[in-house]
């Protein structure tokens, strides 16, 4: 059974994360760039610099730094951000839900658009309009997420000012929520006014993230649909008197979904990576936005925390994709 393999993958997660942590840790300290130097005000004395350095443990040998950091992480403490002067864990917890919600919304939009385009494409199979669909998808693929973000910002934020272009929500709205998962919580508790306001702010960045992925989904799904429609079982279905749309939906689509998810599912990590720039462009308060400044400021604890968080999400995503593929394809379950 496939489940054994999934358990094996789960067991491999901690060592993988450990490896990532080591690499990041070493890399940060080996390359040039002194975080303390970045944050001290001009005119600080040597003693002050020394004290700050000791405060962040940067005067100790690397191995000792790593050991104490590991011990900290074991307790759930990711240390203190040098540039933002707050606890890293707190910062991450505060902003991670925003990014997760954005990524989720973007994925849903991307899958919906991609599926629609692919189904349209295959219904038009053999006709001249199919060429237009393929061409459109090609153009979509060429433009990366951050460019889309800028275009959408200009179009729908400035030229036709329909939507806001910064922040997660209008600062004047009173948010009486328990968690930082604003959208999910407001939807679940029926506070649709808040949810609506949130979506107002999220739709543009989510769309920017979604479009490149939608293009990938559309291309993959259409190719899979075309291949599946030529298979024997689909041809035999025609001899049973089913209409072509019915065959596409009932017989072909479930089969085409498998290679699409298998090959395209991993690309969702690209979507996650895109949050770094897109959140910045829309001043959206997620962890992607923090990442750029953290790197420029050489904020080691924050960078470490961020990299580990992204790594965990990537691994989780890959596992989830594999799980979904196993669910979709009965042949994998019974082997």
Partner 1 sequence: MTATLAIDDLKVAINDSNVLRGVSLEVQPGEVRGLVGESGAGKSMLGRAVLGLLPANAKIISGHIAFEGSDLVGMHEAERRNLLGRRIALIPQDPMTSLNPVKRVGAQIGGLLRHHLGLSKQAAFARATELLIEVAIREPDRVLSLYPHQISGGMRQRVLIAMAFACDPSLVIADEPTTALDVTVQRQVLQLVERLRQRHGSAVLFITHDLGVVAKICRSMTVLHAGRVLEEGETADVLVRPRHAYTRALLAATPRADRPADTLRPVPPSLIEQLWADARRLDLLGPARPA
Partner 2 sequence: MADLVVAPLAAPPSRLLAGLKRGGARLRVGAALVAILVLVALLAPVLAPHDPLEQDLLSAQLPPAWMHGGDPAYILGTDSLGRCVLSRLIYSARTAVTVALIAAAFAAIIGVALGLFAGSFGGWVDQVVSRSIDVWMAFPPVLLSIVLAAVIGAGLTSVIVAIVAVDWTRFARVVRAETMVQLTRDYAAAARAIGLSRAKLLRLEILPNLVPLLVTLLAVEMGIAILVEVILSFVGISVSGDTPTWGSMIAEGRQIVYQAPWIMGFPIGCIIASVIGVNLLGDGLRLVLDPVQRS
Binding site for partner 2 (CB under 8 A): 31-33, 138-139, 142-144, 146-147, 150-151, 153-154, 157-159, 165, 269-270, 272-274, 276-277, 280-281, 291-292, 295-296, 298, 310
| Token output for 36 | 């303390």
239 binds partner 1 (CB under 8 A): yes
- Which of partner 2, partner 1, none is residue 45 near (CB under 5 to 8 Å by kind)? none
- Which of partner 1, partner 2, none is residue 202 near (CB under 5 to 8 Å by kind)? none
| Token output for 67 | 């050991």
Question: Residue 137 or 183: which CB sits closer to partner 2?
Answer: 137
CB 287 within 8 Å of CB 78: no
- The CA distances from residue 149 to 11, 115, 251, 255, 283, in Å, are 38, 22, 37, 34, 11
254 binds partner 1 (CB under 8 A): yes
233 binds partner 1 (CB under 8 A): yes
243 binds partner 1 (CB under 8 A): yes
Q: Residues for the chain: how many in total?
A: 335
227 binds partner 1 (CB under 8 A): no
Q: Kindly write down the DSSP assignment for every residue of 14-51, as one continuous string.
A: HHHHHHHHHHHHHHHHHSS--HHHHHSPTT--HHHHHH
- Which of partner 1, partner 2, none is residue 32 near (CB under 5 to 8 Å by kind)? partner 2
CB 217 within 8 Å of CB 110: yes
241 binds partner 1 (CB under 8 A): yes
Least separation in angstroms between CB 44 and partner 2? 22
Binder among 149, 210, 258, 277 for partner 1 (CB under 8 A): 258
238 binds partner 1 (CB under 8 A): yes
Question: Residue 197 or 237: which CB sits closer to partner 1?
Answer: 237
Task: Give 32's Cβ-side CA count (13 Å radius).
Answer: 0
| Token output for 37 | 């130097």
Binder among 152, 214, 237, 317 for partner 1 (CB under 8 A): 237
| Token output for 310 | 């992204």
**Crossing angle for the helix pair 129-142 and 88-123, to the nearest 10 degrees:** 160
Binder among 120, 231, 283, 318 for partner 1 (CB under 8 A): 231
* Plot region of 47 (φ>0 → left; ψ -120 to 50 → alpha; else → beta): alpha
232 binds partner 1 (CB under 8 A): yes
Q: Kindly write down the DSSP assignment for every residue of 106-157, as one continuous string.
A: HHHHHHHHHHHHHHHHHHTTTSTHHHHHHHHHHHHHHS-HHHHHHHHIIIII
Binder among 135, 250, 292, 296 for partner 1 (CB under 8 A): 250
Least separation in angstroms between CB 205 and partner 1? 36
Which residues of this protein are in contact with partner 1, per CB under 8 A? Answer: 126, 231-233, 235-243, 250-251, 254-255, 258, 328-331, 334
């Amino acid at each position: 059974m496939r489940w054994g393999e999934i358990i094996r993958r789960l067991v491999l997660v901690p060592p993988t994360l450990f490896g990532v942590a080591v690499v990041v840790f070493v890399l940060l300290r080996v390359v040039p760039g002194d975080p303390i130097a970045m944050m001290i005000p001009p005119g600080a004395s040597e003693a002050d610099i020394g004290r700050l350095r000791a405060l962040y443990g940067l005067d100790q040998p690397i191995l000792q730094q790593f050991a104490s950091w590991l011990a900290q992480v074991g307790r759930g403490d990711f240390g203190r951000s040098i540039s933002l002067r707050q606890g890293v864990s707190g910062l991450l917890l505060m902003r991670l839900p925003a990014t997760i919600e954005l990524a989720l919304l973007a994925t849903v939009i991307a899958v919906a658009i991609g599926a629609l385009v692919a189904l349209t494409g295959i219904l038009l199979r053999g006709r001249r309009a199919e060429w237009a669909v393929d061409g459109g998808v090609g153009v979509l693929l060429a433009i990366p997420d951050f460019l889309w973000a800028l275009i959408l910002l200009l179009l729908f934020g400035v030229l036709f000012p329909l939507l806001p272009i910064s922040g997660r929500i209008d600062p004047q709205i009173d948010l009486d929520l328990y968690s930082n998962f604003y959208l999910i919580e407001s939807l679940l508790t029926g506070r649709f006014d808040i949810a609506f306001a949130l979506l107002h702010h999220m739709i543009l960045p989510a769309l920017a993230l979604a479009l490149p992925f939608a293009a990938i989904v559309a291309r993959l799904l259409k190719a899979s649909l075309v291949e599946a429609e030529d298979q024997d079982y689909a041809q035999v279905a025609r001899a049973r008197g089913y209409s072509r749309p019915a065959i596409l939906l009932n017989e072909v689509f479930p089969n085409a979904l498998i290679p699409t998810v298998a090959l395209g599912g991993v690309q969702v990590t690209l979507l996650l990576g895109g949050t770094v720039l897109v959140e910045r462009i829309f001043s959206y308060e997620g962890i992607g936005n923090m990442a750029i400044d953290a790197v420029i400021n050489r904020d080691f604890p924050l960078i470490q925390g961020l990299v580990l968080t992204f790594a965990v999400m990537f691994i989780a995503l890959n596992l989830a994709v594999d799980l979904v593929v196993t669910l979709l394809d009965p042949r994998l379950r019974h082997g």
